[in-house]
Amino acid sequence: MELLTNPLSLLVLLPAAAGLLLLAVPRDNEAALKGFTLGATLLTLLVSLKLYAGFDAAGAGMQFRLDLPWLPAYGINYALGIDGISLLLIMLTALLMPAAVLASFSCIKEAQRAYYICLLLLEASMIGVFAALDLFLFYVFWEGMLIPMYFLIGVWGGPRRVYAALKFFIYTMAGSVLMLAAILWVAAAHHAQTGAWTFFMPALYAGAITPDTQFWLFAAFALAFAVKVPLFPFHTWLPDAHVEAPTAGSVLLAGVLLKMGVYGYLRLAVPLFPAAAAAFAPWLAGLGVFGVVYASLVAWSQKDIKKMVAYSSVAHLGLVVLGIMVFEPAAAAGAVLQMVNHGLSTGALFLLVGVLYERRHTRMMDDYGGLAKVMPGFSAVFMLVTLASIGLPGLNGFVGEALILFGSFRVYPWLAGAAVAGVVLSAVYMLGMYQQVVFGPLRHEENRLLPDLSAREWLYLLPLVLFMVLIGVWPAPFLKRLAPAVNNYIVLARPQPAAPALELKNEQ
Amino acid sequence: MNSEPFAYAANALSGPLLLLLAAFACLLAPLFFRALRGTQGAIALSAVLIVLAFLRRAPLVEISCFNGALLLTPASAYLWAFAFAVLAAVILLSLARPPAEEDSGGEYYFLLFMATLGLAALIAAGDLFTAFIALELLSLPLYALAGIRRSKPGLEAAYKYFMLGAFGSALTVLGIALLNAVYPDLAFAALMQAGAPDTLALAGFVLVIAGFAFKTALVPFHMWVPDAYEGAPTQISAFMGAAVKAGGVIVLWRLFRIFEFGPVREIFWWLAAVTAVAANLMALAQTGLKRLLAYSSIAHAGYLTVAFFGGQRGFEAVLYYLPVYAMATIGAFAVVLALEKGEKGPAIEDLAGLARTRPWLAAAMAAFMFSLAGVPPLAGFFAKFFAFSAAVNSGYTGLVVVAVLMSAVSMYYYLKVTVAMYMKPPAAAQAYPAPGAVEAVVFLMAAGVMLTGVFARPLLALAAEASRWF
């Protein structure tokens, strides 16, 4: 019964159950399918608000804990719990989901039931990743999420969808299988040390593993997360997947899935192997910053709006990785906040691109221009989102970027300096794109009759815009909830004093 | 003798005995009673169902029958139940789509029963001689079954299977002879206590292992598998993939655990690594669905061998792995059966658009593919997790790294099937027969791979209990 009374567990199970229940709705009853899915995601959002209300901002430990035995012989539990970091990411997921569903109403025409089932199962596994405190459970959600996303891209995507879906799946899977081996090693090392099997993350944090071993284990975890983030040079799957995915798929890919990689560093890779993390941190931070500059330059040269937004994601996430790899409270808090910001602004950008694509079936900047006259509402929202994305003070992006840069200047002044250059570049390409699409003369006759945002489109864009402004002017409630979790992370990231060495040996 | 084990032994042995009777009934009854012609399938199915219905939980003792030739333990009970369940599924498939010509007698079911009896004996064998005889009892009917359609691909499959199988049997016999020259007692328990083998005995062990590696289809003893799976009737391919492999794995495990270290372990290490690498790489190039499943079955034999290195815990994983793998394989072959028109089964391309034309069948097939690939939350992931976890725990991380990397490679060819089903348009509108027994098997197996993962506890508990008795 606790499975359902615990709001966190309910959040995981509700979308999954809704997805299965959708099978009972007749295949061709479109209205019922849409209504049911929207209802389920709204209900999930409601439960997540309850989570927010019940969350103790000052509490240092994991909250809403649930611990049910699953496979006791292996010490595997259905263990859930959240701190401030996971709280914000779960809220973000729950908020983006109804928007993604609403945006799908008009653009998905085929096999609707299967589509909405995939969306709901995806939501369940995304929330599961952020809520899991058991390493095994985490991995199940982490990998399980690939199946619905694979189908979303591959079945309802653009012209090169099969290639993009396969690339997405195989890249992510190849990155994560080594993490599976590392997870097994960590659990076995814990078993050898204490005689008990467990996959409970906090219990494994304290494990004493020699720095040499940590190096390899961290490398295995870091690879899995680097593919997901995606860090340069593991990012090549992302433009393909983003461009080919349907609007809702892009929104969730950019908004939530990429955050799982960063979340993995915060929750697993760094706390489990602090010594190795300290050694890897400058390199990862360097890769992050290189990604900021590189992806910004690539984005600058794009002609396809969606592709440009995809590359801008790589740049933003690079900055976030810099933030978490300097182990400074301000930078880490900024990084987590920036993840939420990026989810909101890039999510909104993909939604807006979807709005354009639905009207004109093209995403090329050259095909637009002068939209300010025909679509004033759209242009206003687009303006605000663009500005939020480049970090204009007063909007959410600024708060996160500023915190990351302030925090990291103290540790890596040169890297932070280079990152600033990247941020400036983002203004260049984003504003350039905005200008080309919205301002100027109306170059194409077809664009003269484009309708402005419909009520449904306003409905899913407004909440995102609202939060962008809210976080921009008043980030305190979010930062307050983050503080204990971030401090925890900083403490865990400090390499422990030399612990008794432990090596796995042959049992014989 | 205590009466409870005795009663159990009587009950347990009556199962194979009933199957033996049913086998002869299938073979002979239609010859003498014209009215019974064409009912062999029904007789066979009811016999298996009766046996399955009367299965009992074994007492926690080892019962030695026939001077130790057969050992009845909870482990053998577990695997017998598994073998009979596979048999039931295969009979169901054969009833729905008769593999042999209508006018042929009951030899199909007779041979199937004989093979299953051989498998049952192989599982429970207490010494190497019994294991060899059981192996022959298992193999000979299968050679005939592979070619029962008497068509060209079928005969080719039977011929290849027979030639290589006979070669494997010869190796086994030679190995047993060498071993017998050194050890007077060839019971597995006695071999365990025999101490480090000298050169002659080592040669014997290597030959025996090679012989059983043929049956299990470990690389480089796998050459017969793709042709045999492709040419044999699909029902028999399913039986070979699911059940015959289990027999080989069990004997290999018994041989494996005699050695705690030394060259034999190294041989197993290389067999596992080479099998995982080679099978997955070769599978990438396949275009025929049955050949793909054949290479996939070779790859899984490699993963099973990796699990050996986990010791007791690894064997527990093997016992969980076998039914999970069997469900996905039988299910996939049942899908093949539902779609096949020619002798060799459909190509992967032929599945194009299956999600449109037969969405439920496509969904089930996708579940089998993801389970075989080891993607959570399907059961195949749990099986791999348990298997690899045990091996890592014993310090064989390198081997596990090879295996997990290769399962990432395997993703590609399993995904190819889902790409065809979901992301390609259907070739042409065609009429499909109404769902029947084949579809029932498909959905039963699909439910199995979806549920035994997340709800692994009961099956895992049974496997854990059984694994202690080897």
Can you give the three-state secondary structure of A156-221, one letter per residue? HCCCCHHHHHHHHHHHHHHHHHHHHHHHHHHHHHHHHHHCCCCCEHHHHHCCCCCHHHHHHHHHHH
Task: Determine the distance in angstroms separating the CA of A174 from the nearest CA of chain B, rounded to an integer.
Answer: 5
Whole-prediction pTM value? 0.93
Query: Which one of A180, A190, A505, A508 would you mutate to disrupt binding with B, by most B Cβ within 10 Å of its Cβ?
Result: A180
Chain A residues within an 8 Å CB radius of B264 = none
Q: Does A170 touch chain B if contact means CB atoms closer than 8 Å?
A: yes
Partner residue opposite B389 with nearest CB, options A161, A162, A184: A184
Question: What is the span of the domain harbouring residue A356?
Answer: 273-496
Q: Is the pLDDT of residue A502 over 60?
A: no
Give domain status of residue A167, yes or no: no
* Residue A489 tokens, joined: 């992370």
Cβ atoms of A333 and A479 closer than 8 Å: yes
pLDDT tens digits, one per residue of A434-473: 988 888 888 888 888 888 888 888 999 999 999 999 998 8
> Is residue A229 one of the residues assigned to a domain?
no
Q: Can you tell me whether residue B173 is helix, strand or coil? A: helix
Residues of B with Cβ-Cβ distance to A147 under 8 angstroms: 370, 375
In a domain, A466, yes or no: yes
> In this model, does residue A210 exceed pLDDT 50?
yes
Per-residue pLDDT reduced to its tens digit, B81-106: 999 999 999 999 988 888 876 656 67
| pLDDT beyond 80 at B18 | yes
Residue B430: give the domain boundaries.
3-467
Which has the closest alpha carbon to B386: B296, B330, B460?
B460
d(C-alpha B346, C-alpha B338), whole Å: 10
Three-point CA angle B217, B221, B222, nearest 5°: 50
Count of domains observed in chain B? 1
Sign of CA dihedral A45, A51, A54, A58: negative
Q: Which of the four pLDDT bands, split at 50, 70 and 90, describes residue B38? A: confident
CB contact under 8 A, B389 and A73: no
Is A363 inside any structural domain?
yes
Q: How many domains does chain A have?
A: 1
**Secondary structure of B240-259 as H, E, C letters:** HHHHHHHHHHHHHHHHHCCC
pLDDT digits (tens, 9 = 90+) for B387-439: 999 999 888 999 999 999 999 999 999 999 999 999 888 877 666 676 788 88
pLDDT at B54 over 90: no
Chains A, B: CB contacts within 8 A come to: 100
Which residues of chain A does B425 touch, with a Cβ-Cβ cutoff of 8 Å?
none
Looking at the complex, report in whole angstroms how far the Cα of residue B146 sits from the nearest Cα belonging to chain A.
36
The answer to whether residue A15 sits within a structural domain is no
Distance (Å) from the alpha carbon of A210 to chain B's nearest alpha carbon: 16
Contact B457 A71 (CB under 8 A): yes
pLDDT tens-digit map of A69-128 = 998 888 899 999 999 899 999 999 999 999 999 989 888 888 889 999 999 999 999 999
Q: Do B260 and A165 count as a contact with CB atoms less than 8 A apart?
A: no
Minimal CA separation from B275 to chain A, in Å: 18
pLDDT of residue B102: 61
CB contact, 8 Å: A205 with chain B?
Answer: no
H/E stretch holding A322 reads helix A305-325
pLDDT value at residue A504 = 47
Hey, is the C-beta of A68 within 8 angstroms of any chain B C-beta?
no
Residues of B in contact with A111 (CB under 8 A): 355
Nearest CB among A111, A146, A184 relative to B375 is that of A146
Query: Is A334 in contact with A400 (CB distance < 8 Å)?
Result: yes
CB A276 within 8 A of CB A372: no
Contacts of B261 in chain A (CB under 8 A): 508
CA–CA separation, B41 vs B106, rounded Å? 8
CB-CB neighbors (< 8 A) of A196 in chain B: none
CA distance A393 to chain B (A): 43
Determine contact: A467 vs chain B, CB below 8 A: no
Place of tokens 């994991």: A62
CB contact under 8 A, B397 and A181: yes
Mutation for testing the A interface, residue in B384, B397, B409, B451 having most A CBs under 10 Å: B397
CB contact under 8 A, A185 and B392: yes
Report if residue A488 sits inside a domain: yes
Q: Among the listed ranges A332-346, B304-318, B430-444, which one has the minimum average pLDDT value?
A: B430-444
* A73, A144, A188 ranked by CB distance to B393: nearest: A188
**Smallest CA–CA distance from A192 into chain B, residue:** B393
Residue among A136, A154, A184 whose CB faces B419 most closely: A154
